[in-house]
Structure 1
Amino acid sequence: MSALSERVPPAVVGGVLRGVFALPEPVKRVIAGAPVHRDGQRLALDAQLLLSLSRLEQRNLGGGRPADARRAMERSNKLLVRSLPRPVKTRDVAAGDVPARLYTPAGLAEGSPLLVFYHGGGWVIGDLDTHDSVCRYLAVNGEVRVLSVGYRLAPEHRYPAAVDDALEAWAYAAAHARELGADPDAIAVGGDSAGGNLAAVVALRAERRPDFALLFYPATDMSVRRRSRELFAEGFFLTDADMVWFSDHYCPEEARRAEPDASPLLAADVAGFPPTYLVTAGFDPLRDEGEAFAKRLADAGVPVALRRQEDLIHGFANMWGLGGRFREAIAEAAGALRTGVARARLR
């Protein structure tokens, strides 16, 4: 299917994929196979079905040449694109020297809250386009403007280049919020996976701290392997081998992986971190380090809502176009964002 699918337009493959997900549940169960249980959790049928179909592609997130992995991720995300009932206007922005894209939902008033968002992809793959659908969803359903940041990728630009870009883009957003049509007193930071890592670093390092943090299954500690890395090492979209490949490209000097800019869980002090909604996926190698970071925040007195979507897999935010459990999970996160920035404006 890999060679065939690459010859078929993504819109066609995506339509077929959505058609499969619209089938009656008993039919989807036949396609997906017997239910999967691990660590006291049951994998959602939607997630299991997607994994079953994805195995036909015989392709991992990482491995091989970065250029090939980037093209594969770009194509995969095109398969999942789905339109929203509310139009979203976009424009390119130079956030200092960092390329960015501003999303503004139709009818959103001037002076709205702003979310500065960093895409995932292991610091090696992913870009503004691969997370376009996620940013549109969060903009519309979070009632915010979104500034998506195109930070430099490894191995061409290794650690800490992505951190430097993340901080520069944040500083630009904070200084130019009104020019972006946003409220300078209601600026959130967010990201998924590697982007969640960068968002956490920004929340710890920025001179003007964010008012809220939205973290999807963030990578928070590159220095150790936790239990979830073993439990879900393969077979659940993101693999342990992928994480090794990403880490080796991003931060090949192992001694530097314990630096807080690479592993925000190891920061000396997290007490000034903003109120946070942190969501993990039950069947995710990064689950335990994300939850350890949430505990670290809570222990420091930071208001944090930790939500484990225990039946889902890493990357579910990008999968919302398939509906079902994926859309339910990102809808909850968008609601948390809307509430979090609203509370910030009341302070």
Structure 2
Amino acid sequence: MPDYDQLLDAEMKAYLARCDALYPPDAVTLDIAGQRRVYDAMCADFDVGRPDGVAVKDEPQGGVPCRHYTPADPAGTVIYYHGGGFVVGGLDSHDSICAEICAKTGLRVVSVDYPLAPEHHYPEDFDAAWRAYVAISAAWPGPVVLAGDSAGGNLAAAICHKARGAGPMPMGQVLIYPGLGGDWSWPSYIEHADAPQLTTRDMQFYQQIRFGGEPPANDPGCAPLRDSDFAGLVPTVCVSAQCDPLASDSEVYVQRIQQAGGQAMWIDEAGLVHGNLRARTMSQRAANSFERICGAISGLAQGRWPAV
């Protein structure tokens, strides 16, 4: 069992205490409405507002609700898929995060409000994410980078896999502590089974809700790591957290892309937990990670490799 008292510094411990006061560790025992209520309240508490110089409007793309963040002279587009286990989250939960990515990169950011479970089971979330991707790519010619955290990282990667033969290819993808359908016997799943912010029990709950039962076997639309072919994927940066059961997904995904001849980079952030994007104003480690994420997005949009 990891010693989180040693792995996490004082800033991260303060962040976790604030999270736990707003979104209790046993939140998955609440009904869905209750989970969304406490999650939305936590996200609102951590919201720091939008930087100056970012124009914001809500406008659907491909029939999917989206929020657009536009700098003065956008040099390309980021399509962002939010986290939340496919059960919670939305345009407001990641509002200041997307606005800051826009300001830091100089890229237009379009946040996609894909449908959530249990009202909408897979593949409705993926199908909506794909429709939005196709529409956004057509609306703004130029560099497109896919990005997402947690469940949103899953969607971004799944779209990249499908795009190889079915649509326009992005310039790259940045996956932030993504869940990619890895094997639950991998090291991080075992070592960090009871990590702060996300446990394997939580993951089991979210999986059951997303699929309404067992997930389909070997379907890269919901589990990119279950694909049989990792060739032809776009340059990829995976940013995981050391204290997160999902960290092995990033490690293995990068390895498989590299083994297939592609460009991929794994950044495992020491002393951070799942969901640390919200910690960027409380933790220097999280702030540094956010800077690397924005740098990777910028680098991919400019066609640089390594991106960071």
TM-score (norm 2): 0.91
Q: Is the 8 Å Cα contact of residues 35 and 45 (structure 1) preserved in structure 2?
A: no
How far 1:70 sits from its partner (Å)? 1.0
Of 144, 157, 160, the match for 1:200: 157
Which residue in the other structure is 1:43 paired with?
A: 8
Q: Secondary structure of 2:178's match?
A: coil
Percent of counterpart pairs with the same letter?
Answer: 30
Which residue in the other structure is 1:148 paired with?
A: 111
1:64 aligns with 2:24: no
Q: Secondary structure of 1:191's match?
A: strand
Larger Rg: 1
Q: 2: CA distance between counterparts of 1:192 and 1:140?
A: 18
Aligned residues: 298
Larger CA deviation: 198-207 vs 318-327: 318-327
Q: Is the 8 Å Cα contact of residues 283 and 313 (structure 1) preserved in structure 2?
A: yes
Deviation sequence 1:113-145 (CA, Å, 0-9, x none): 100010000011110100111101111112110
Deviation sequence 1:18-77 (CA, Å, 0-9, x none): xxxxxxxxxxxxxxxx9724xxxx223322222234444544453321111111111101
Which residue in the other structure is 1:99 paired with?
A: 65
1:79 aligns with 2:79: no
Q: Is the 8 Å Cα contact of residues 222 and 258 (structure 1) preserved in structure 2?
A: no
Q: Secondary structure of 1:243's match?
A: helix
Q: 2: CA distance between counterparts of 1:87 and 1:175?
A: 25
Structure 1, gaps ≥5 residues long:
1-33, 178-183
Structure 1 runs (4+) deviating above 6 angstroms are none
How far 1:83 sits from its partner (Å)? 3.8
Letter in 1 for 2:82: H
Q: 2: CA distance between counterparts of 1:128 and 1:35?
A: 32
Q: Is the 8 Å Cα contact of residues 222 and 262 (structure 1) preserved in structure 2?
A: no
Q: 2: CA distance between counterparts of 1:104 and 1:159?
A: 31
Q: 1: CA distance between counterparts of 2:273 and 2:215?
A: 30
Structure 2, gaps ≥5 residues long:
none
Q: 1: CA distance between counterparts of 2:292 and 2:117?
A: 32
Larger CA deviation: 209-218 vs 317-326: 317-326
State the Cα RMSD in Å.
1.9
Q: Is the 8 Å Cα contact of residues 51 and 99 (structure 2) preserved in structure 1?
A: no
Q: Is the 8 Å Cα contact of residues 221 and 258 (structure 1) preserved in structure 2?
A: no
Q: 1:54 to 1:171 in 2, by over 3 A?
A: closer
Q: 2: CA distance between counterparts of 1:328 and 1:305?
A: 17
Q: 1: CA distance between counterparts of 2:215 and 2:113?
A: 27
Q: Is the 8 Å Cα contact of residues 182 and 248 (structure 2) preserved in structure 1?
A: no
Which residue in the other structure is 1:11 paired with?
A: none
Equivalent residues in 2 for 1:276-315, closer than 5 Å: 276-315=236-275
Q: Secondary structure of 2:57's match?
A: strand
Equivalent residues in 2 for 1:1-347, closer than 5 Å: 36-37=5-6, 42-56=7-21, 58-83=24-49, 85-105=51-71, 108-110=72-74, 112-177=75-140, 184-206=141-163, 207-221=167-181, 224-254=184-214, 256-343=216-303
